[in-house]
Structure 1
């Protein structure tokens, strides 16, 4: 059985971290495999929304520290490891489709890194989130630290990183680390997925690109190209036609 599994139900893909016996601890191979999975999903125009979750009782306790002596023992190895972790989170953040993290149990360290790369985070009432890097003498990566800052603000980011304390889902909601707390986060994630799957994918992918600040890095050139593509698309023509005919549009991502 694969440590990263992917299923497709209609237009919704579900990616599951599948090592429940170790609370879904992520190995180096899994970071790389997750990146490949999301790149493939991002290129699949049949997929309109992606849900990321963990098998069993937890989302993920983060990196599998038991392999650090072999693969992350010094600065050089740590840099290579962080490149793989960042490549994974960039692949999640970079897909054009919305990504919803469904968080149960522990969501720690690298698990938080994964969840923060998603567009939305839905948590169970008993979920526990934290970044224990300070317990391991590790400096949390630049990308993940910047995402944490964007979500929770400077003071809360410092508290989380300086103290390595865990926060419950209600506190996480209060500070912005999760977006919703519900008894059945998967059900709510699927409800949101049903909504987003009906909307124009060119609109969503363009908005996601701009909101994630990628447009600042390229001077807005690709963002303008995405705006122009949508304005010239069959989907735009279909939307105008559907509006006139008082029906739902049938978007084809083209």
Structure 2
């Protein structure tokens, strides 16, 4: 079975993360495939909206950490991995059509990264949202931090990133991580997008482009300094310890180096 499955329902496309046996953990190849999928949807005039969701009970537990030893072992591999991740989220955000993440179950780390790139996030009562980067000695990517900040505000963004905690659907909604709660978020997203589909596509595309741009002012940051912090974390012993602890199902013992 393909890891990314696409269902077309009239003018709405459903992009489905299709690894339910591992809670839809996203592989390196999948980041690239999702990017290609959304780039292709950009040129499909019949598609007026997209629902992004996971197969089974979960949206996504995030990046597939089991493959990090081979695809994200040090700063150079980490840099290539982050390019793939950012290209993926960039393709979602740049799609000139509304995109709704339909969230059930776990939406963690890289899964949250995908949801943040969408225009809206609909969840149900089972949704559990969090970013466990601080438990793995990973510096979360700049684009995702910017999106997190725009949605939640600086205090909540710091709480989410510093604590690496998981938040219930109700807590996530109060923080701005989830926009609406529904019994069936996939169905609600589909119905919502059908209402939007009768409006002018060029109007929506123009509004999306401007709003995304206005909410992403990162001009005050030094990109080189940001990359240095990401590289130092990627090359650290703490990153290796985080992966070992995850695999061994124990609490990590970090030393800050």
Which category describes the TM-score, using the shorter chain as reference length?
A: 0.7 to 0.9
Cα distance in 1 for partners of 2:104, 2:184 equals 9
| Aligned residue-pair number | 217
Counterpart of 1:192 in structure 2 is 192
Higher RCO by CA contacts (8 Å cutoff, separation 6 or greater): 2
1:141-161 residue CA offsets vs partner (Å, 9 max, x unmatched): 000011000000101101110
Cα distance in 1 for partners of 2:90, 2:214 equals 11
Tell me by how many angstroms 1:16 deviates. Answer: 0.1
Counterpart of 2:9 in structure 1 is 9
Alignment of 1:72-83 (within 5 A): 72-83=72-83
- Secondary structure in 1 aligned to 2:2? coil
Tell me by how many angstroms 1:191 deviates. Answer: 1.4
Cα distance in 2 for partners of 1:66, 1:177 equals 27
Cα distance in 1 for partners of 2:46, 2:187 equals 21
Counterpart of 1:145 in structure 2 is 145
- Secondary structure in 2 aligned to 1:213? helix
- Secondary structure in 1 aligned to 2:81? helix
Alignment of 1:43-54 (within 5 A): 43-54=43-54
Change in CA separation of 1:105 and 1:157 when aligned onto 2, cut-off 3 Å: same
Which 4+ residue blocks in structure 1 deviate beyond 4 angstroms?
Answer: 214-217
**Contact kept in structure 2, 1:20 and 1:58, CA below 8 Å:** yes
1:26-51 residue CA offsets vs partner (Å, 9 max, x unmatched): 00000000000000001111100000
**Contact kept in structure 2, 1:209 and 1:215, CA below 8 Å:** no
Counterpart of 2:41 in structure 1 is 41
Tell me by how many angstroms 1:194 deviates. Answer: 1.1
Q: What residue ranges of structure 1 are gaps of 5+ in the alignment?
A: 218-254
1:72-124 residue CA offsets vs partner (Å, 9 max, x unmatched): 00011001000000000000000011000000000000000000000000001
- Secondary structure in 2 aligned to 1:25? coil
Q: What residue ranges of structure 2 are gaps of 5+ in the alignment?
A: 218-257
Cα distance in 1 for partners of 2:196, 2:23 equals 30
Cα distance in 2 for partners of 1:140, 1:174 equals 22
Tell me by how many angstroms 1:184 deviates. Answer: 1.2
Tell me by how many angstroms 1:187 deviates. Answer: 1.8
Q: Whose radius of gyration is greater, 1 or 2?
A: 1
1:206-244 residue CA offsets vs partner (Å, 9 max, x unmatched): 100011017999xxxxxxxxxxxxxxxxxxxxxxxxxxx
**Contact kept in structure 1, 2:146 and 2:216, CA below 8 Å:** no
**Contact kept in structure 1, 2:147 and 2:216, CA below 8 Å:** no
**Contact kept in structure 1, 2:51 and 2:99, CA below 8 Å:** yes
